[in-house]
A and B are shown apart, each in its own frame.
Chain A
Amino acid sequence: MASKQQKVLFEAEKQLDIVNEQFKTLQILNEEGEVVNESAMPDLTDEQLQELMTRMVYTRILDQRSISLNRQGRLGFYAPTAGQEASQLASQFALEKEDFILPGYRDVPQMIWHGLPLSQAFLFSRGHFAGNQIPEGVNVISPQIIIGAQYVQCAGVALGMKKNNSKAVAVTYTGDGGTSQGDFYEGINFAGAFKAPAIFIVQNNRFAISTPVEVQSASRTLAQKAVAAGIPGVQVDGMDPLAVYAVVKEARERAINGEGPTLIETLTYRYGPHTMAGDDPTRYRTADLDNEWEKKDPLVRFRKFLEGKGLWSEEKENEIIEQAKEDIKQAIKEADNTPKQKVTDLITNMFETLPPNLEEQYEIYAEKESK
């Protein structure tokens, strides 16, 4: 029997194209530091622009020093951040003090600029509980190691803010690999269903350790994953501080006005390895790709932009670099001077009231520690 021409019931390619059309990359500053989208320009004063650049330069130095201190054995776990300054710091710059940040393991810079003392960030890296004793009034929680967990928790923090009628938002970060987790989807879906004031940021640096983003999903953007939750999604040039700032600012406005959560994908790149625990990016990244992204460096384009406005100089930048180095030296000293952890400390931190098994073990270790 001759096969009959099958009737096409849905136009698969067209369907995907129509969706992709909705998620074009938003950019304000191009690689040369030129404004390419005047209408999207955020309303920032000269001082604010300088402050944002200051933080980005400072954080680049912090990354360089952290890698070096890690190699000397003076820091422990460290996930490099160079390249992601616009994505991390311009997003945090759009927040208010009352906003609550649930960071991933690479998001220590946001915590620092939200109020975490540098010495505590170093103690977190070394593996000391004092690093996680966030000062009162600093609305962050320590970096989440379980990829995706921060997303479901963010939905809860945001719902809590809504119930408390606070004009604040919960903000969380994950990477491109993290979008494959169930908790990623559950988090944005819960926040959507409860119309909770949350901002979900996906920092797409194209690699989850060695796995390229194309292996994570057939989806052509990560921003469009918002569609599954019925919430707005936006893809932004994550190497462009002004675009990142503008988008987070708008998501924040929507959230505090009761319009619900937003998913933001920042297209970014990490210049360094995944972590300092032996990862070697030359095994899975080409020099061509590295070079392509180095041209997009957020510091380079923002420096050009500010210099064009007469708001930046080499002298000013060097002052910040010296300041950062001095602060880091001081913070490492403070971390060194933090008393060593004892088992009795760890026991004490478990519960408000110790159960009998821990009371018993406390006595045993207190005895050992007294010798």
Chain B
Amino acid sequence: MAQMTMIQAITDALRTEMRNDPKVLVFGEDVGVNGGVFRATEGLQKEFGEDRVFDTPLAESGIGGLAIGLGLQGFRPVPEIQFFGFLFEVMDSIAGQMARMRYRSGGRYHSPVTIRSPFGGGVHTPEMHADSLEGLMAQTPGVKVVIPSTPYDAKGLLISSIRDNDPVIFLEHMKLYRSFRQEVPEEEYTIPLGKADVKREGTDLTIVTYGAMVQESIKAAEQLEKEGVSAEVIDLRTISPLDIDTIIASVEKTGRVIVVQEAQKQAGIAAQVVAEINDRAILSLEAPVLRVTAPDTVFAFSQAEPIWLPNYKDVLETAKKVLEF
């Protein structure tokens, strides 16, 4: 075991899979000799060579096409999109192409691609760096969307994502890259995609969340405990497909739920979680399922992040509304 930050755990996962499978290729803007703008691919080109870890021209759509083509030639591409706000440049390659590859070819071809990309607020990035666009991906049939919140989850989920034979969007929250360390096994291990994790057990209230909001929700749960409320925090880890079983089991136990996301209310996946709970467990509900989200504006100018991004106080406030309904 070693104490690792999330970014170290990600590098470790990439190194592990590159050693395991000679078909794994890592490429993107500045991922080679530079080791990535966040050092996620640090040392990989040195160990595996320029043939397997390489820089590309500055064009996201081209990177997406490159990944699809390499996939057709038997490679297992792990491209990087420098910031997920740049998704729009590569939306066709992802949603219009690789997501549909297996289906449109009737299973003849597939796209074993894992797209890594940082996102998330709280670190005062310039425009179009921090936007939470996972909702767009979650609405796309044919891709899985994974968002880890801890170093341990990041490593196991990334190894699983790379081994998956269909496209996976692996979103890395920038604020979580180096915010804390955690024990991470040095050997390889996997965490199944589509499986949530109960980060904190509770009996009075369920908080369903993902990404940086996991830490905010845990913080809120600790506060609630002081007030005699036992909150269960579910970290979805994979937001598409959802782990319905884990969510519903918790809802049936607690009878009260909030869903917490960093994305705007009209975005993200909170609405989908609420709908699934309404479909499957309405008879267990003591109160409506409420959401904690950002307001429905464009992502905040960096100085306005503190007043715009949801935080543990918003979680507490909404939790109380549900508890006192």
Contacts and interface: CB of A to CB of B under 8 A. Distances in A.
A310 B152 CA distance: 76
Given A132-B108, A161-B73, A352 B194 contact: no
B51 A163 contact: yes
B59 A189 contact: yes
B92 A146 contact: yes
A159 B105 contact: no
B277 interface: no
Nearest to B98: A153
B75 A163 contact: yes
> Most A CB atoms within 10 A — which of B67, B75, B107, B166?
B107
Interface stretch (A29-37, A60-68, A179-187): A179-187
A357 interface: yes
Contact of B166 (A129, A142, A352): A352
A238 to B, nearest CB: 25
Interface string B98-110: 0000111111111
B107 A133 contact: yes
A159 B241 contact: no
B73 A163 contact: yes
A152 B65 contact: yes
Contacts of A154: 65, 69
A151 interface: yes
A167 B58 CA distance: 28
Contact of A190 (B59, B73, B110, B142): B59
B74 interface: yes
A134 B62 CA distance: 25
Nearest to B143: A351
A330 B219 CA distance: 70
Contacts of A130: 106
Contact of B75 (A160, A186, A356, A357): A160
Given A142-B105, A156-B66, A349-B106, A186 B61 contact: yes
A187 B105 CA distance: 22
Contact of B69 (A170, A351, A355): A170
A346 B65 contact: no
> Most A CB atoms within 10 A — which of B104, B108, B242?
B108
A164 B106 CA distance: 26
Interface residues of A, number: 41
Contacts of A189: 57, 59, 62
A193 interface: yes
B144 interface: yes
B166 A157 contact: no
A100 interface: yes
Contacts of B109: 134, 141
Give the secondary structure class of A's interface: helix
Contacts of B241: 355-358
Contacts of A190: 56-57, 59, 62, 65-66
Contact of B106 (A129, A163, A170, A182): A129
Contacts of A146: 92, 96-97
Contacts of A351: 102, 142, 166
A156 B67 contact: yes
Interface in A66-102: 100
A281 B30 CA distance: 48
A141 B105 contact: yes
A155 interface: yes
A158 interface: yes
Contacts of A357: 241-242, 244
B107 A349 contact: yes
A158 B103 contact: no
A299 interface: no
B33 interface: no
Nearest to B165: A352
B37 interface: no
B68 interface: yes
A157 B61 contact: no
A156 B96 CA distance: 16
Contact of A100 (B72, B97, B108): B72
A357 B106 CA distance: 20
B135 interface: no
Interface in B274-320: none
A153 B110 contact: no
Interface in B75-111: 75, 92-93, 96-97, 102-110
A56 interface: no
B64 interface: yes
Contact of B65 (A129, A155, A193, A352): A155
A215 interface: no
A350 interface: yes
Contact of A350 (B71, B72, B102, B108): B102
A243 interface: no
A306 B297 CA distance: 69
Interface in A188-240: 189-190, 193
Contacts of A247: none
B141 interface: yes
B69 A155 contact: yes
Given A133-B108, A146-B92, A351-B102, A160 B62 contact: no
18 contacts: A132-B105, A132-B106, A133-B106, A142-B105, A146-B96, A152-B68, A156-B70, A156-B73, A157-B73, A164-B74, A183-B65, A183-B92, A186-B65, A187-B65, A350-B141, A351-B102, A351-B142, A356-B244
Given A156-B70, A160-B73, A163-B51, 8 more contacts: A130-B106, A133-B107, A146-B97, A160-B69, A190-B66, A350-B102, A355-B194, A356-B241
- 7 closest residue pairs by CB, A with B: A156-B69, A152-B65, A160-B73, A355-B241, A186-B62, A133-B106, A157-B69
